[in-house]
Chains A and B, each alone.
Chain A
Amino acid sequence: MKRSWLLLASIAAALVLSAAAPVNAAGTVKIGIIWPLTGNAAAAGQASKAAAEVAADIVNNAHPELGDIPLAKSAGLPNMGGAKLELTFVDHQGNPSLAQQLATRLITQDKVNVVMGAYQSSCSFTATAVAERYGVPFMVGESAAGNITGRGFKWVFRGTPIASDYARTYMRFFTDMKKQGKKINSIAIVNENTDYGTSVAAAIVEEAKKSNIAVAIQIPYSASSTDVSPQVLQLKEKNPDVVIFISYTADSILYMKTMRNLNYLPPMVVGDDSGFSDPSFVPAVHDIAQGAMNRSAWVIGKPGSVISKINEMYKAKTGRDLDDTSARNMQSFFALADALNRAGSTDPEKIRVALTKTDLKPNQLMMGYQGVKFDKTGQNILAATYLIQLHGQKYELVWPDKAATAKLQWPMTGWKK
């Protein structure tokens, strides 16, 4: 009995010692990743986690078939003697204060070299502030709220397009539609009421003003609502030409079902990614939301293309295609890995400088961006997005015309044949 205690104690001691050993045992770079792995947005977090794991596999092992994707050809980071990326995932459950605590833990206890996260804008907002305080580079994978960058932070970078980029895209699209003779006099904005929905809605209101499109009504709501019929009835009363939903998963499904039940079908519904891109959305409502539009910078390429090969790797792991959310996270992950390699060291300042010098070209990307290049605030200025539309059980790229793979349907048909 005594001996087994001794054994346990020595194992424990060994564990403690190994944790206290020099931060980086030769050959690994630690990336701490904060996502909602449980809670309301768990599906998106889990999908992104799988995407990050595929991306780490691509970086850590040789994948010559993936062409110009950064670090695919070599195994590990060549400038660091083939060092491997090691991922530590933590779960903030969609809770901004937990995200803040976890960021602190990753940096001070797990001693990660860089941090990535955090899906919900409200969580990215708090977690990035921690990284800034400790001077550790933070890559925001895909949160859209404008205020995450632009706070004068030195250590925060963001690969994804942001609220104002999306808002401008929508207005360009509406203006284009008006030219083609579609009637768009007024729009309605339905947004969940945390940082994400509020900031995107504000950006849309601002851009709509510039484009002379009236906002008939703006409806903020809480994403955990169990009943949205009052909101749908308000929409019905105002009768806008387009309804834009800035919603998470359960709520966007609930809206589509409630609209069907209350027999309200606007000429067009535009979803702002998130809920509309969640893997649960299409199976749940494809038969009642035909023609609903969504934004996406992710399009699965032709079979045999580099992008479709990445999708195949992801599909082999999860049984599903990559979605826009996890693909944007994956793209940000590659940009981060590329900077780590160019830094050639785990010194935070060197990594930061390498990030500021990032310049990825379209052929090195898996997304429909024009590139990855960060401005002074850390925002990727070459990010862009496409618009897609639900046809049958899948989204087709319908706008801009030059990239389109299918013809835009206007008005949407919803549940009507």
Chain B
Amino acid sequence: MLLLQVIVGGLLLGAIYALFSSGLTLIWGMMNFINFAHGEFVMLGMYVSLLVVTWLGGGPAAFGFAAAFALFVLGVGIYLSLIRYVLRGPMLAQILSTFGLALLLRYTAFWIFSANYVSLPQTSLSGTIDVGGILMPIPQLVAGIIAIALTIGLHLMLTRTTVGSQLLAVAEDRSAAMLMGIRPDRMQALAWGLSAGAAGIAGALMAIAYPWSPSVGETFGLTAFVVVALGGFGSVPGAMLAGLIIGLIQAVSAYWLGPIYKDIVVYALFVALLWLRPQGLMGKA
């Protein structure tokens, strides 16, 4: 029974990993571009939630939406003001630009919010439900379900809508897409907005249960990279599967072997899988 409880907890956390990692994989799939500032987007989503709760007294729906919207705008802004230009530069410039962006965002957060840990006050989302002896904390349950729904939604949007086709067309062949009347810049700005927005809302969902400080983005950034590599670069369903798997492995190995071993288990399996399947679980070879 306890093991089942552990598994549920791991999957709920994994769902949030999946959500913010899908944003990272989207950018990779769209433009072969690695965004090192992705963990920082999650961190900013957490602070936006805090501001909405403390200043406006907003509930989970309000701060979730606010975080998604604020980060969407930020993502578009960053694309238009920075990424668009460095894309023309050499690979190294691309890598270093988002690395610099990550540091800029992190230390700006230190400056504005100080290094102290903060956490959201108990919101209307609290308490637990008991499903046949398994305790499900409502905040995590809601967060996990929303995260899965949004990740699936993102996948459906990419594969089933016109906008999604246009995004993929730009990813496939930029000049051909232009000939078809698609504006690549607009599409890529949209992709950055969606990517950052997904990270922002994932941050809001994490903030419900997890205390944080401006350096939290490091942890999330690393997790996102592992999830994306495991799932296959550019694959949203892959990121979702990998997020859930990593959440699950972390929880179960922490319970069975002890928490200090959980990352060893995760990374050992990760390396083993890459050895067998370098393209990741659902990536194209």
A180 interface residue, CB < 8 Å from B?
A: no
Interface string of A275-287 (1 = CB under 8 A from B): 0001110001001
Query: Do the beta carbons of A253 and B117 come within 8 Å of each other?
Result: yes
Per DSSP, are chain B's interface residues mostly helix, strand or loop, or mixed? helix
CB-nearest residue of chain A relative to B118?
A280
Query: Do the beta carbons of A261 and B114 come within 8 Å of each other?
Result: no
Query: Do the beta carbons of B209 and A278 come within 8 Å of each other?
Result: no
Knowing A227-B251, A230-B259, A287-B122 touch, does A43 contact B117 (C-beta < 8 A)? yes
Query: Do the beta carbons of B135 and A279 come within 8 Å of each other?
Result: no
Query: Do the beta carbons of A250 and B118 come within 8 Å of each other?
Result: no
Knowing A219-B258, A250-B117, A284-B117 touch, does A229 contact B212 (C-beta < 8 A)? no
B255 interface residue, CB < 8 Å from A?
A: yes
Kindly list chain B residues whose C-beta atoms are within 8 Å of the C-beta of A261.
Answer: 128, 135, 137, 139-140, 209
Interface string of A13-54 (1 = CB under 8 A from B): 000000000000000000000000111101101100000000
CB-nearest residue of chain B relative to A284?
B119
Query: Do the beta carbons of A254 and B259 come within 8 Å of each other?
Result: no
Once the chains are docked, how many angstroms separate the CA of A236 from the CA of B133?
Answer: 14
Kindly list chain B residues whose C-beta atoms are within 8 Å of the C-beta of A279.
Answer: 116
Interface string of A142-170 (1 = CB under 8 A from B): 00000000000000000000000000000
CB-nearest residue of chain A relative to B252?
A230
CB-nearest residue of chain B relative to A46?
B115
Query: Do the beta carbons of A227 and B250 come within 8 Å of each other?
Result: yes
In chain A, positions 347-390 with a C-beta closer than 8 Å to chain B are none
Q: Which 5 A/B pairs are nearest by Cβ-Cβ distance?
A: A42-B115, A221-B259, A261-B137, A230-B255, A280-B117
Other A-B pairs beyond A221-B258, A250-B117, A284-B119, 14, CB < 8 Å: A39-B215, A40-B215, A220-B258, A222-B259, A226-B210, A226-B219, A229-B6, A230-B9, A230-B259, A233-B5, A236-B2, A253-B117, A263-B128, A263-B135
Interface of B toward A, CB cutoff 8 Å: 2, 5-6, 9-10, 13, 110, 114-119, 122, 128, 135, 137, 139-140, 206, 209-213, 215, 219, 223, 247, 250-252, 254-255, 258-260, 263
Interface of A toward B, CB cutoff 8 Å: 37-40, 42-43, 45-46, 193, 219-222, 224-231, 233-234, 236-237, 249-250, 253-254, 257-258, 261-263, 278-280, 284, 287-288
